[in-house]
Amino acid sequence: SVRWGLIGASTIARQFMIDAIRAQGDGEIAAVMSSSPERATAYAGENHIPLAVSTLDALLGADIDAVYISTTNELHLEQALAAIKAGKHVLCEKPLALTSADARKMVTAAKAAGIVLGTNHHLRNAGAHRAMRDAIAAGRIGKPIAARVFHSVYLPENLQGWRITRPEAGGGVVLDITVHDADTLRFVLGDDPVEVSCFTQSAGMAGSGLEDGAVCIWRFKSGVIAQSHEGFTTKFAGTGFEVHGSEGSLIASNVMTQKPDGLVLLRTAKGEEQLSFDRDDLYTRSVHQFHAAISGQGHPAATGEDGIWSLASAEAALQSASSGRAVKIDPKL
């Protein structure tokens, strides 16, 4: 069995990851760490976790095999490095760190220690996105030409905290959602982004100079161009993902979500077809792949290197927004 320690008494763990770990035949949550002893105890009680601790040393000293890091983003680096040093496998939330240079430190340390490091990019685990990736790889839309990502949402009130008030914690919509879009585009297209141009806005929700909306234009290695829109302030916008090729278009709606929802249409000269795909829980599949990687079978659904790519992409988008220029993306891998 895999015994997990949770680093961070977070919403995402409570809403998705605790269940995802427990859904594995061999997954167990042994401990939770919060920076506040009271919050640790309350969280452990509510979620039936046997051990509540309030220091990293206490968590890493517990009988655990792996940690899931879902604290605010500025804490990921130090916590991941400590876990790696303690010999624990690390599934870390996105963005891996505040800079791609720091994310590289995590990947390098994990490699040197023989530790599995994964990035929790859930969308790679969605049946919809895997169906699109497979269709493209099988040539069903011919040569991919352009992609469009619609991922502007309304940040729920219970999450209107550090994301819109704390730049030092890695707030802002680009580190929150653009990282996912960069990763999902890479995954679905099977291609890497080389350059990005980005405009950001503060549309009334985020303060402290943070952006709560972004539109990016991406160029990929193959020549594919893409647009993506991320936001916290649009209450009534749906989500979607489209890839248009020389022989067909993939048009997916309601797929940029945490649930296995949505529809994928393939439109070609032959007409329109709805692609079928599995409706497995995204986070459960993420943990499943991670467990397999720990036992020496394959890789996490998104590796540490994938986390460097998505962060280098988001970082370039932020540099573009502040400089007014297109910025090259270089993960330095």
C-alpha distances in angstroms, 259 versus 116, 185, 278? 26, 18, 12
How far apart CA 119 and CA 70 sit, in angstroms, is 11
Contact between 70 and ligand NDP by CB under 6 A: the answer reads yes
* Site string (155-194) toward ligand NDP, x via CB under 6 A: ----x-xx-------------x------------------
**What is the closest distance, in whole angstroms, from the C-beta atom of residue 94 to ligand NDP in the complex?**
6
Contact between 129 and ligand NDP by CB under 6 A: the answer reads no
Cα first-last separation, the chain: 33
What would you report as the CA-atom Rg of the chain, rounded to the nearest whole angstrom? 19
CB nearer to ligand NDP: give 30 or 251: 30
Contact between 39 and ligand NDP by CB under 6 A: the answer reads yes
> Which of the residues 242 through 261 are near ligand NDP (CB under 6 A)?
258
* Site string (197-236) toward ligand NDP, x via CB under 6 A: ----------------------------------------
* Site string (101-120) toward ligand NDP, x via CB under 6 A: -------------------x
How far apart CA 75 and CA 8 sit, in angstroms, is 10
CB nearer to ligand NDP: give 4 or 141: 4
Contact between 1 and ligand NDP by CB under 6 A: the answer reads no
Q: Under a CB-based contact definition with an 8 Å cutoff, are residues 67 and 42 in contact?
A: no
| Options 66-74, 105-113, 241-249, 262-270: segment touching ligand NDP (CB under 6 A) | 66-74
How far apart CA 66 and CA 45 sit, in angstroms, is 21
Phi, psi of 284 (to 5 degrees): -65, -40
CB nearer to ligand NDP: give 9 or 266: 9
Q: Under a CB-based contact definition with an 8 Å cutoff, are residues 264 and 252 in contact?
A: yes
Contact between 31 and ligand NDP by CB under 6 A: the answer reads no
Contact between 55 and ligand NDP by CB under 6 A: the answer reads no
Contact between 79 and ligand NDP by CB under 6 A: the answer reads no
Token pair for residue 227? 């647009």
Q: Under a CB-based contact definition with an 8 Å cutoff, are residues 142 and 246 in contact?
A: yes
Token pair for residue 35? 């920076």
| Options 32-40, 100-108, 134-142, 296-304: segment touching ligand NDP (CB under 6 A) | 32-40
CB nearer to ligand NDP: give 200 or 310: 310
Contact between 94 and ligand NDP by CB under 6 A: the answer reads yes
CB nearer to ligand NDP: give 47 or 258: 258
DSSP character string of 48-88: T-SEEESSHHHHHHSS-SEEEE-S-GGGHHHHHHHHHHTT-
3-state secondary structure 22-46: HCCCCEEEEEEECCCHHHHHHHHHH
CB nearer to ligand NDP: give 51 or 145: 51
Contact between 239 and ligand NDP by CB under 6 A: the answer reads no
**What is the closest distance, in whole angstroms, from the C-beta atom of residue 125 to ligand NDP in the complex?**
10
C-alpha distances in angstroms, 122 versus 10, 115, 252, 260, 332? 16, 21, 17, 10, 24
Which residues of the shown chain bind ligand NDP in the complex (CB under 6 A)? 8-12, 34-36, 39, 70-73, 93-94, 120, 122, 159, 161-162, 176, 258
